[in-house]
Amino acid sequence: MKKELVKVEEKIAKPVSESWYEELIEDCKVIITEAIFTSRWALVEGYWNLGKTIREDKNIKWHAKGSESFLQDLADNLKISIRTLHYSLQAYDKFPKLDTIPEGKNISWNKLITLYLPEPKKPETPELPKGKYQVIYADPPWEYDVDLSSGATRSPENNYPVMDLEALKKFGEKVKEISHKDCILFMWITAPKLNWMNDVLEAWGFDYKTNLIWDKVKPNMGHYSSVRHEILVIAGRGICSPTCDGKTIQSIDSVQSIEKSARHSEKPLAFRSIIETLYPDYKKVELFARGTPPTGWTFWGQEALTK
């Protein structure tokens, strides 16, 4: 019988100073790395082992299953989404013996979570921040109409709720509410979704200007080629030119070669630094953000944390 996740009654403090916690993180990282870069079944086995390792760790004061805050902290340290972590725990809870997983070694992780595991409870989307912002940095959760990589964590829907074109256009109503009359938008988009770009920019109230390219160094799966780059679209409304000097502008290369991290869709911090360099004194907000905002930024998103 499936066990449900419940929150602890007692708050668990962030145990970053505990050696056992550091060891748990390292053990889990090894499991994830070995699973992702080998076979399809290894991914299933790896994430099942991830759930098993966490569930059986005697140092975690679960009070049944563990607190959401603890799991979020652990997911951040492992550089995976809490959604993936929930699925790993559910896989172990529902199939406490690996050989009881349906279809055996023929099943993929994507198929297992789609057919045999319940959808994790989605966190409530917070209200957008108040006020007007002169810089908007966004990493929209683009929906794909094909399975990017069956059985892999690279599929966006396995990591966070995605948005189709109509949902993204509708979201533009909220973006306009927080956009200053003179505003610059930095928006991440992948090569397969370029056909959506103009529709989204128009709905959000921006005109295309140019773009930056992130060269991820390592190859990625693709349908027509190994796609190892991602595009940071720059669009504006009103007066939106950089406020720094021309020499500084010319020092920024339009192609940034930075090796990607293991966490799905995580963007290099260097791009936020570029934005800060171009617009040092502007009021800035990051949409669909993760973690805690640095000084000078407001974060918004289901995985965004407050200071």
CA-CA distance, 190 to 193, in Å (whole number)?
6
Q: What is the mean pLDDT of residues 2-31?
A: 60
The larger pLDDT score, comparing residue 125 to residue 266, is at: 266
Largest CA distance in the chain: 65
Confidence (pLDDT) at 307? 55
Cα dihedral angle (274, 275, 277, 282), rounded to 10 degrees?
-170
Other beta carbons within 10 Å of 287: 23
Q: Is the pLDDT of residue 3 over 60?
A: no
Q: Residues with Cβ < 8 Å from 36, sequence gap 6 or more?
A: 43, 46, 152, 153, 262
Cβ burial of 51 (10 Å; 0-12, 13-18, 19+) is: buried
pTM for this one?
A: 0.64
**What percentage of the chain carries pLDDT values higher than 70?**
81
Average pLDDT, rounded, for the chain: 83
User: Which phi and psi (to 5°) does residue 147 adopt?
Assistant: -80, 110
Residue ranges of the domains in the chain? Answer: 19-115, 133-304
CA-CA distance, 214 to 287, in Å (whole number)?
19
The predicted-structure confidence for 227-274, as pLDDT tens digits, reads as follows: 899 999 999 999 999 999 999 999 999 999 999 876 667 899 999 999
Coil, helix or strand at residue 236: strand
Coil, helix or strand at residue 92: helix
Residue of 68, 54, 72 whose CA lies nearest to 5: 68
The predicted-structure confidence for 66-94, as pLDDT tens digits, reads as follows: 467 678 778 877 878 888 888 999 999 99
Confidence (pLDDT) at 61? 67
Confidence (pLDDT) at 14? 45
The predicted-structure confidence for 128-171, as pLDDT tens digits, reads as follows: 999 999 999 999 999 876 544 443 434 444 444 689 999 999 99
Q: Is the pLDDT of residue 117 over 80?
A: yes
Residue 7: pLDDT band with limits 50, 70, 90: very low
Q: What is the mean pLDDT of residues 166-194?
A: 96
- CATH architecture for residues 133-304: 3-Layer(aba) Sandwich (3.40)
Confidence (pLDDT) at 62? 55
Q: Is the pLDDT of residue 305 over 70?
A: no
Confidence (pLDDT) at 76? 75
The predicted-structure confidence for 188-206, as pLDDT tens digits, reads as follows: 999 999 999 999 999 999 9
For the chain, the distance separating the N- and C-terminal CA atoms, rounded to the nearest angstrom, is 40
